[in-house]
Amino acid sequence: MAEQQEVIAELTAAGVLAGIRWAYESATRRSLESYCEADGHDPAWLGHTRFTLFRDRLDRVFGCARYAVPAVGGGLDRDLLYAELSERDLASMPHLAPALVRRSDLRGSAGWIYRRHWFLIASAEFGRIDTLPWLEKSVTKQLVAMQPGPDHRQPSLFEDLLTDGVVPDHLVPEGAPAGIALPPRLDPVLLAADRQLKLPAFVVAHTLDADTGEIELAFGRPWLNLRGGPAWHWREDLLTVPLPAVRRTEVPAAAERDQLSVVPDAQVRLRVIDGGRRTGRGRDGGQA
């Protein structure tokens, strides 16, 4: 079985991909609800907020980091886990076993591991996931994209790159001179990354069109496209992964959920004096 089919089948069966989709859709909805240009927000604010909430929701659904707090009697602290989530988020949130996925950052980039599958998250411009320019991303994302493809196994991830410090021909941008050297800012970190990346690392790419609210979400093995063009050895659209259905009967509206109990009004008798006039104030608050 090809790597793509094998990885996607395993992560789908475990509920990991459903968790990723839920986390991103929840983060995007919350970001757009808060986004207001009149309040001084700009695309940079929206991008940072979206990333922060996406990371937070991933930790929630997987029970990682600050959400891995045990409650009395086992399980997780539900009050902390569900805090600030909308009714839709609560109803559609996949219920996964604690510690199924663990948080494991890579060189400062937020990352998560399920068995032998390590994944990071990366934003992209809407409509450009397929040609995502990895050279514009962090050194960590570039190193992940430099991993050999599933059909090119080798003892060391960067063995070919480190033999003489020269970029292989198939990675050289068009028009560049032969024997081009590795970028200076990459060279010192390759050996360290080679020791750290013992698991295959994948990337969850996400986009948002702030005007229309449309999103894209993909999971795949990135490809360092120095020549431009395709940014993936393979990728899978996660918006087709099913989530738990949201049924109206399961999620009462906030007004209904928080409505006070209806109690019959106490009986009140009015004293009649002065020829039948009532003392006190009328129902409209004025004088009787």
Rounded to whole angstroms, the Cα distance separating 37 from 53 reads 19
Tell me the per-residue pLDDT of 166-186, one tens digit each, with 9 for 90 and over: 445 544 444 544 554 445 444
For the chain, the 3-state helix, strand and coil shares in percent, each to the nearest 5, are 40, 15, 45
Which residue would you say has higher pLDDT here, 140 or 121?
A: 121
| C-alpha closest to that of 22 among 66, 47, 53 | 53
Q: What is the pLDDT of residue 148?
A: 81
pLDDT band at 72 (very low <50, low <70, confident <90, very high): low
Rounded to whole angstroms, the Cα distance separating 208 from 180 reads 36
Percent of the chain predicted with pLDDT > 70: 67
pTM to 2 decimal places: 0.73
Rounded to whole angstroms, the Cα distance separating 255 from 186 reads 55
Mean pLDDT of 217-246: 91
Which residue would you say has higher pLDDT here, 271 or 67?
A: 67
Q: What is the pLDDT of residue 278?
A: 37
Mean pLDDT of 84-111: 92
Tell me the per-residue pLDDT of 16-33, one tens digit each, with 9 for 90 and over: 999 999 999 999 999 999
Rounded to whole angstroms, the Cα distance separating 201 from 120 reads 8
Q: Name residue, tokens 């397929």.
A: 130
Q: Considering the chain, what is the average pLDDT of its residues? A: 77
Rounded to whole angstroms, the Cα distance separating 19 from 94 reads 6
Query: Looking at the predicted structure, is the pLDDT value of residue 277 above 80?
Result: no
| C-alpha closest to that of 70 among 81, 85, 59 | 81
For residue 102 the two structure tokens come to 């663990």
Q: Which helix (H) or strand (E) holds 12?
A: helix 3-14
Backbone angles phi, psi at 222, to 5 degrees: -75, 160
Q: What is the pLDDT of residue 227?
A: 78
DSSP category for residue 226:
T
Q: What is the pLDDT of residue 139?
A: 87
pLDDT band at 228 (very low <50, low <70, confident <90, very high): confident
Q: What is the pLDDT of residue 61?
A: 96
> For the CA atoms of 115, 118, 124, 127, what is the dihedral angle to 10 degrees?
-40
